[in-house]
């Protein structure tokens, strides 16, 4: 009788624990699966108003802001950076207000080198964008926001930065969510499929979201873990009842 009570209680508990809906898998989700070409052919992001930049001019620390070439190296937290204003401009030493929005980082480097040639001999300039991030969610060991730092980072490298997949990761269902033409769009990747290995080399862009879905077994294991204390309590109560019933 005691065993029947325990089994019935656990069954009711598990039935009451509805499985959570996974991110991007709700019934009314508006995210569409994209043509892979839209990810492979994505253009390098351009600088926009609100971007935070450091400007390094080799050999001219007095003209640099948050230089990456010396001990004056900076990051977003330190405050040693410039912000592109609503007009797309930054205020630079010797150059004054300079419009930079609309350029890629590579183009902006060349543009400023040409502009500074009037003041400096063969300037070497390095622009770093501090507020370009990729968000990693789901079954990784260290989910969070990761800076791109002007680097080309693919899906495998980003998972590595997030300390790898968790034991519950469904490596056949990894998604990149990106805003394309104003709409959130996703690309699904199967890391076990060697034929699609070229997908793994897709460069991630600022504001991309990488989501690793959990295995179905995770929901069941979590239910079992929650049910274990309940089963222990029921067992203890049943033992007490049997003792006092004698």
Question: Using CA atoms, how far apart are residues 199 and 155, in angstroms rounded to an integer?
Answer: 9
Higher pLDDT, 230 or 38: 38
Neighbour order of strands in the sheet with 133-138: 32-33, 183-189, 169-180, 209-214, 133-138, 144-147
Contact residues for 116 (Cβ-Cβ < 8 A; gap 6+): 57, 94, 95, 123, 125
- Which CATH number do you get for residue 60? 3.30.1950.10
Predicted pLDDT of residue 172: 85
Q: Is residue 113 located within the same domain as residue 185?
A: no
Q: Which residues pair with 53 in a beta bridge?
A: 82, 129
In a domain, 239, yes or no: no
Predicted pLDDT of residue 224: 52
Q: Is residue 39 located within the same domain as residue 138?
A: yes
Last residue of a domain, one of 129, 162, 178: 129
In a domain, 137, yes or no: yes
Q: Is residue 137 located within the same domain as residue 125?
A: no
Predicted pLDDT of residue 112: 95
Question: Using CA atoms, how far apart are residues 6 and 69, in angstroms rounded to an integer?
Answer: 67
The answer to whether 175 and 33 have CB atoms below 8 angstroms apart is: no
Residue 78 is part of which domain span?
Answer: 52-129
In a domain, 119, yes or no: yes
In a domain, 18, yes or no: no
pLDDT digit string, tens, across residues 154-165 = 888 999 999 999
How many residues make up the chain in this entry?
246
Predicted pLDDT of residue 71: 47
Dihedral angle of Cα 239, 241, 242, 246, to the nearest 10 degrees: 140
In a domain, 235, yes or no: no
**Cβ neighbours of 7 (radius 10 Å):** 12
Predicted pLDDT of residue 28: 46
Q: Is residue 99 located within the same domain as residue 206?
A: no
**Local confidence band at 242 (pLDDT 50, 70, 90 cut-offs):** low
pLDDT digit string, tens, across residues 94-120 = 999 999 999 999 999 999 999 999 889
The answer to whether 138 and 213 have CB atoms below 8 angstroms apart is: yes
Last residue of a domain, one of 129, 158, 180: 129
pLDDT digit string, tens, across residues 135-157 = 999 999 999 999 987 778 888 89
Q: Is residue 62 located within the same domain as residue 96?
A: yes
Number of domains within the chain = 2
Q: Which of 184-198, 211-225, 230-244 has the lowest mean pLDDT?
A: 230-244
Q: Is residue 138 located within the same domain as residue 212?
A: yes
What is the chain's mean pLDDT, rounded? Answer: 77
Q: Is residue 37 located within the same domain as residue 140?
A: yes
Question: Using CA atoms, how far apart are residues 50 and 53, in angstroms rounded to an integer?
Answer: 9
């Amino acid at each position: 009788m005691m065993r029947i009570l325990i089994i019935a209680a656990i069954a009711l508990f598990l039935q009451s624990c509805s499985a959570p809906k996974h991110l991007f898998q709700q019934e009314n989700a508006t995210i569409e699966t994209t043509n892979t070409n839209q990810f492979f052919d994505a253009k390098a992001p351009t600088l926009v108003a609100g971007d935070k930049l450091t400007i390094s001019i080799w050999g001219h620390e007095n003209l640099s802001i948050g230089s990456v070439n010396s001990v004056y190296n900076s990051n977003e937290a330190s405050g040693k950076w410039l912000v592109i204003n609503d007009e797309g401009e930054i205020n630079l030493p010797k150059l004054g207000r300079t419009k930079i929005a609309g350029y890629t980082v590579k183009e902006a480097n060349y543009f400023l080198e040409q502009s500074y040639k009037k003041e400096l001999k063969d300037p070497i300039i390095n622009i770093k964008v501090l507020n370009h991030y990729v968000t990693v969610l789901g079954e990784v060991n260290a989910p969070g926001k990761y800076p791109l730092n002007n680097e080309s980072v693919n899906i495998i490298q980003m998972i590595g930065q997030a300390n790898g997949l968790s034991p519950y990761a469904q490596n056949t269902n990894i998604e990149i969510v990106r805003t394309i033409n104003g709409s959130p769009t996703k690309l699904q990747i199967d890391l076990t499929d060697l034929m699609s290995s070229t997908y793994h080399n897709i460069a991630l862009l600022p504001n991309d979201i990488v989501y690793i879905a959990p295995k179905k077994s995770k929901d069941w294991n979590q239910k079992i873990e929650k049910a274990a204390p309940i089963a222990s309590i029921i067992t203890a109560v049943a033992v007490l009842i049997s003792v006092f019933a004698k």
